[in-house]
């Protein structure tokens, strides 16, 4: 393991254990990401505004959970005590309430903390202070509210930094929320292989997450935020044996990892940009959701009304074919 200046509190990586362990059951099974809303610099900046009607539509469509990506770092002061903006937090409160009132599990996800990816040590205190405030604010919230520590650690947030920070953040949260489910993914943008590098804690209420967008040139063709993605236009997913096998192998690895460590796991993001051809997109989404279902992997589609959309948030209309592909034999 390479460390770049961050202390790895727990020292060596957890030793591989041979015997599978019982996995605590989690209730989430299929959800949707409310992407491009509260993770934009300001709500609405990226054209997505989620309203109460969307939450009820999500529930009616058969989803049981929502993941709410929030850019808390854009709404907290830059200096101690790093106070969260009360006006912005009213919006977050309302979003959580809407989800819970509609009978949905709600994952509150700290998204797009770009500064910490560049300077993990300098930003650590601020990150922990933000989590302390969130934990205190929501300590009496329904158990169906889950916390997700940090979306897609990358850049200078390597394994050493991340293992150190995640242990401290969980410690902060546990002071006021001893039982709440906490979701943690590995580095390299929550890559599935990075789960192996997470130092596991003695905590029964942690869910491991990974993101899955393979083949990336297919899922992200034409994505404005990905370098060279314009060149990938027209990439299809035909559902050949080879293409399917590539996905099944990775999901089998995830299943093994979860069994080995006795930790529930979640595919917290997966999806295909709406620019891809419709048939390929539906085919891939149906296959992914089905393969996850077969292995008991909970999944959260990315996203509702952003670039990977399954709904037009203006009209409230679902893309019924894609929705059907995801829900399979509901």
Say if CB 310 and CB 319 are below 8 A apart. yes
Cis peptide before 81 (omega within 30 of 0): yes
Q: How far is the CB of 154 from ligand GLC (least distance, A)?
A: 10
Tokens linked to 298: 């909970």
- Nearer of residues 216 and 257 to ligand GLC, judged by Cβ: 216
**Looking only at residues 170 through 229 of this chain, which bind ligand GLC when binding is defined by CB under 6 A?**
none
- Nearer of residues 222 and 296 to ligand GLC, judged by Cβ: 222
**Looking only at residues 58 through 97 of this chain, which bind ligand GLC when binding is defined by CB under 6 A?**
none
Tokens linked to 209: 């997450």
Q: How far is the CB of 140 from ligand GLC (least distance, A)?
A: 29
How far apart are alpha carbons 169 and 235 in whole angstroms?
40
Q: How far is the CB of 275 from ligand GLC (least distance, A)?
A: 12
Say if CB 254 and CB 286 are below 8 A apart. no
**Looking only at residues 235 through 264 of this chain, which bind ligand GLC when binding is defined by CB under 6 A?**
none
- Nearer of residues 111 and 261 to ligand GLC, judged by Cβ: 111
Tokens linked to 58: 């999500």
Q: How far is CA 143 from CA 18, 107, 149, in A?
A: 33, 11, 16
Q: How far is the CB of 302 from ligand GLC (least distance, A)?
A: 6
Say if CB 299 and CB 259 are below 8 A apart. no
- Nearer of residues 24 and 41 to ligand GLC, judged by Cβ: 41
Say if CB 22 and CB 262 are below 8 A apart. yes
**Looking only at residues 24 through 53 of this chain, which bind ligand GLC when binding is defined by CB under 6 A?**
35
Contact pattern from residue 99 through residue 138 relative to ligand GLC, giving x for each residue in contact according to CB under 6 A and a dash for the rest:
------------xx--------------------------
**Strand 317-318 relative to strand 311-312, pairing:** antiparallel
- Taking CB under 6 A as the rule, does residue 265 contact ligand GLC? no
Contact residue for ligand GLC among 173, 269, 287, 301 (CB under 6 A) = 269
- Nearer of residues 109 and 197 to ligand GLC, judged by Cβ: 109
DSSP E strand stretches across the chain: 30-33, 65-70, 105-110, 145-148, 182-185, 206-212, 265-270, 298-301, 311-312, 317-318
Q: How far is the CB of 301 from ligand GLC (least distance, A)?
A: 11
- Nearer of residues 75 and 112 to ligand GLC, judged by Cβ: 112
- Nearer of residues 211 and 261 to ligand GLC, judged by Cβ: 211
Token match 């009978």: residue? 103
How far apart are alpha carbons 109 and 260 in whole angstroms?
26
- 226, exposed or middle or buried, with CB in 10 Å at 0-12, 13-18, 19+? middle
Contact residue for ligand GLC among 151, 163, 177, 221 (CB under 6 A) = 151
Residue 127's nearest CA partner among 159, 166, 92 is 166
SS (H, E, C) 20-54: CCCCCCCCCCEEEECCCCCCCCCCCCCCCCCCHHH
Contact residue for ligand GLC among 302, 304, 323, 326 (CB under 6 A) = 302
Number of residues that bind ligand GLC (CB under 6 A): 7
- Nearer of residues 155 and 262 to ligand GLC, judged by Cβ: 155
- Nearer of residues 69 and 102 to ligand GLC, judged by Cβ: 69
Contact residue for ligand GLC among 68, 88, 152, 272 (CB under 6 A) = 152
**Interface positions with ligand GLC (CB under 6 A):** 35, 111-112, 151-152, 269, 302
């Amino acid at each position: 393991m390479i460390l770049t200046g961050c202390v790895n509190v727990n020292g060596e990586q957890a030793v591989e254990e041979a015997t599978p362990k019982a996995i605590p059951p989690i209730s989430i099974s299929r959800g949707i990401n409310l992407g491009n809303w509260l993770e934009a610099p300001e709500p609405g900046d990226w054209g997505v505004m989620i309203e109460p009607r969307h939450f009820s539509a999500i529930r009616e469509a058969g989803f049981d959970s929502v993941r709410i990506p929030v850019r808390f770092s854009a709404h907290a002061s830059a200096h101690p005590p790093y106070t969260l903006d009360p006006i912005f937090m009213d919006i977050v409160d309302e979003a959580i309430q809407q989800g819970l009132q509609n009978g949905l599990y709600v994952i509150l996800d700290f998204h797009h903390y770009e500064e910490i990816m560049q300077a993990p040590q300098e930003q650590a205190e601020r990150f922990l202070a933000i989590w302390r405030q969130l934990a205190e604010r929501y300590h009496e919230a329904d158990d169906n509210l889950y916390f997700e520590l940090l979306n897609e650690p990358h850049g200078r947030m390597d394994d050493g930094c991340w293992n150190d920070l995640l242990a401290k953040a969980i410690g902060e949260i546990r002071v006021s929320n001893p039982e709440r489910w906490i979701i943690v993914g590995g580095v390299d943008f929550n890559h599935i292989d990075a789960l192996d590098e997470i130092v596991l804690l003695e905590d029964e209420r942690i869910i491991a997450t990974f993101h899955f967008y393979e083949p990336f040139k297919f899922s992200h063709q034409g994505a404005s935020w990905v370098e060279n993605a314009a060149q990938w236009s027209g990439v299809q997913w035909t559902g050949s044996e080879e293409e399917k096998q590539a996905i099944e192998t990775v999901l089998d690895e995830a299943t093994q990892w979860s069994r080995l460590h006795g930790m529930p796991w979640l595919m917290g993001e997966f999806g295909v940009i709406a620019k891809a051809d419709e048939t390929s997109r539906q085919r891939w989404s149906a296959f992914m959701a089905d393969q996850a279902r077969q292995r008991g992997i909970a999944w959260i589609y990315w996203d509702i009304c952003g670039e990977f959309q399954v709904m037009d948030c203006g009209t409230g209309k679902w893309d019924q074919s894609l929705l059907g592909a995801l829900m399979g034999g509901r």
